[in-house]
Chain A
């Protein structure tokens, strides 16, 4: 069975600090997708990134970067120079191709990030 673990329940940082959110996953499939979503207080989940299991290249998008390492089954997310607007709950998720759809996501328990001035 697939599983996503986000060991950090809550992280508090001061604005402009860098912060890394950890994600470890388990799956028996060789083909899968990994995602990060952000959930602001309004409730909707906002897509941040998708990675497929064949693409281990790290990715940077502005202040966000992602480090995917199959050898350690990790898909960590770093926010550089954090801002108050980054305060939210962040979820890592996994989708297995053999379910017939990538819409069936297994989510981690989320990491609540609090950025203060």
Chain B
């Protein structure tokens, strides 16, 4: 069974640009969550999508957005990049049916560097 796939794995952007990150969940998983990992703030929840709807969101500005497609693949977008957006962005999938109490399956992340 293929794991969670995130693309691109590494990218460099400059301040003010925007970026789109992609996540393909494990086949059959309907929930996709996004986390930001930085040395200063640690791992922080961005948002979760289930059946193309945002089910939960963390405390991030509106520059951070996401969506989920009918095949459960998800994208997240960060507009008007700031230096502080440099981070490892991790995607996690889970079956998501009902109140999900199972473990999350994480991808290897997309490492974004903002110059």
- Check B108 against A44 for contact (C-beta < 8 Å): yes
Q: Nearest-CB distance from B36 to chain A (Å)?
A: 11
Residue B64 CB within 8 A of the other chain: no
Interface residue from A47, A97, A100, A101 paired with B103 (Cβ < 8 Å):
A47
Nearest opposing residue in chain B for A108, CB measure: B42
Residue B70 CB within 8 A of the other chain: no
- Check A107 against B99 for contact (C-beta < 8 Å): no
Known A-B contacts A45-B92, A47-B105, A105-B104; A100 and B45 likewise in contact (beta carbons under 8 Å) = no
- Check B92 against A103 for contact (C-beta < 8 Å): yes
Instruction: Give B47-81 as 1s and 0s: 1 = Cβ < 8 Å from A's Cβ atoms.
Output: 01010000110100000000000000000000000
How many residues of B sit at the interface, in one of the four size bands? 20 to 34
CB-CB under 8 A from A103, the residues of chain B are 31, 33, 48, 55-56, 92, 94, 96, 100, 104
Nearest opposing residue in chain A for B107, CB measure: A44
- Check A44 against B99 for contact (C-beta < 8 Å): no
- Check A50 against B108 for contact (C-beta < 8 Å): no
* Bound: A28/B109 CA distance, A: 32
Interface size on A, residues (CB 8 A): 26
CB-CB under 8 A from A99, the residues of chain B are 56
* Bound: A75/B67 CA distance, A: 34
CB-CB under 8 A from A91, the residues of chain B are 43
Instruction: Give B80-115 as 1s and 0s: 1 = Cβ < 8 Å from A's Cβ atoms.
Output: 000000001010101010011111111111010000
- Check B100 against A102 for contact (C-beta < 8 Å): yes
CB-CB under 8 A from A70, the residues of chain B are none
Residue A109 CB within 8 A of the other chain: yes
* Bound: A102/B48 CA distance, A: 10
- Residues on B facing A (Cβ under 8 Å): 3-4, 31, 33, 35, 42-45, 48, 50, 55-56, 58, 88, 90, 92, 94, 96, 99-109, 111
List the 3 closest pairs (A to B, CB-CB), nearest first.
A47-B103, A107-B43, A45-B106
Known contacts A101-B50, A101-B55, A109-B42; 14 further A-B pairs (Cβ under 8 A): A43-B108, A43-B111, A44-B108, A45-B92, A45-B104, A50-B103, A91-B43, A101-B56, A101-B99, A102-B101, A103-B33, A103-B96, A104-B56, A105-B45
